[in-house]
């Protein structure tokens, strides 16, 4: 799919008196020949024919989103910051719950695991960067991954934490994990009484186009 984005100047108007409308655009044609003219309300055949004859670009009855005020933008930023703080609190609480189940030989790695690379760890691993396609990470213990995963994951611990990763190949205690069950921003996978349990920790944000 290919797309282009344009910055278009728009002039919004309505037709009250047709003669005045035509006279106005005749007098100011040079100003509007490169703009999109949005006519709100009824567009008569006469006005439509006039706009076509002048090769003016026009649309009828289009509603544009209203511009946001500085106060609205500030409020949105504050809400976003509050949500991020809440997420950090949830993560801290979750890590505290799981800390007793982490072994003393916890290893922390913050570099990208690149395609063709293997990371094999005896014990627990906290991975702070992404795992590229074609890479492999294997732990005998628990595994926490904070970034995107596209490679192969083998975890043999009691739990692992991973985000929405539709391209990952995840094997937890010898069982392949269905990626469709990992829909949220952060998910916890546990082995409880020989049963794999998946719990959403942080919900994924939805972006409306």
Q: What is the DSSP string of 52-116?
A: HHTT-EEEES-PPPPPPPHHHHHHHHHHHHHHHHHHHHHHHHHHHHHHTTS-TT-EEE-S-B-TT
Residue 34 lies in a domain: yes
Dihedral of the alpha carbons of 76, 82, 85, 87, in degrees to the nearest 10 = -80
Domain extent at residue 127: 101-202
Based on the fold, state whether residues 105 and 196 are members of the same structural domain: yes
Residue 125 lies in a domain: yes
Based on the fold, state whether residues 195 and 111 are members of the same structural domain: yes
Q: What is the pLDDT of residue 208?
A: 35
Q: Which two tokens stand for residue 188?
A: 């916890």
Residue 71 lies in a domain: no
Based on the fold, state whether residues 36 and 127 are members of the same structural domain: no
What CATH number does the domain containing 177 carry? 2.160.20.70
pLDDT in tens, 24-71: 988 888 888 888 888 988 889 898 999 999 888 888 988 776 666 677
Based on the fold, state whether residues 108 and 55 are members of the same structural domain: no
Based on the fold, state whether residues 134 and 46 are members of the same structural domain: no
Query: In the chain, how many domains are there?
Result: 2
Residues 127, 144 contacting (CB under 8 angstroms):
yes
pLDDT in tens, 149-182: 999 999 998 888 888 888 899 999 999 998 888 8
Q: Which two tokens stand for residue 51?
A: 């706009």
Residue 74 lies in a domain: no
Residue 81 lies in a domain: no
Based on the fold, state whether residues 54 and 116 are members of the same structural domain: no
**159-162 and 143-145 strand pairing:** parallel
The pLDDT of residue 119 is above 90: yes
| Mean pLDDT estimate for the chain | 82
Residue 195 lies in a domain: yes
Q: Which residue has the higher pLDDT, 206 or 197?
A: 197
Based on the fold, state whether residues 177 and 109 are members of the same structural domain: yes
Based on the fold, state whether residues 178 and 113 are members of the same structural domain: yes
Of 126, 118, 121, the C-alpha closest to 147 is 126
Of 143, 159, 156, the C-alpha closest to 197 is 159
């Amino acid at each position: 799919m290919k797309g282009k984005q344009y910055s278009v100047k728009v002039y919004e108007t309505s037709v009250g008196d047709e003669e005045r409308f035509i006279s106005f655009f005749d007098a100011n044609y040079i100003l509007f020949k490169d703009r999109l003219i949005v006519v709100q309300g009824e567009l008569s055949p006469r006005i439509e024919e006039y706009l076509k004859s002048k090769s003016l670009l026009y649309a009828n009855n289009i509603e544009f989103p209203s511009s946001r005020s500085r106060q609205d933008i500030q409020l949105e930023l504050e809400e976003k910051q509050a949500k991020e703080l809440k997420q950090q609190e949830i993560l801290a609480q979750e890590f505290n719950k799981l800390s007793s189940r982490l072994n003393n030989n916890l290893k922390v790695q913050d570099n990208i695991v690149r395609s063709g690379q293997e990371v094999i760890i005896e014990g627990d691993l906290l991975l702070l960067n992404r795992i590229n396609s074609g890479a492999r990470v294997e732990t005998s213990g628990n595994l926490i991954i904070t970034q995107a995963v596209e490679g192969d994951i083998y975890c043999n611990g009691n739990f692992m934490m991973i985000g929405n990763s539709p391209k990952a190949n995840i094997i937890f205690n010898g069982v392949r994990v269905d990626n469709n069950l990992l829909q949220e921003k952060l998910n916890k996978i546990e082995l409880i009484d020989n049963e794999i349990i998946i719990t959403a920790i942080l919900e994924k944000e939805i972006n409306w186009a």
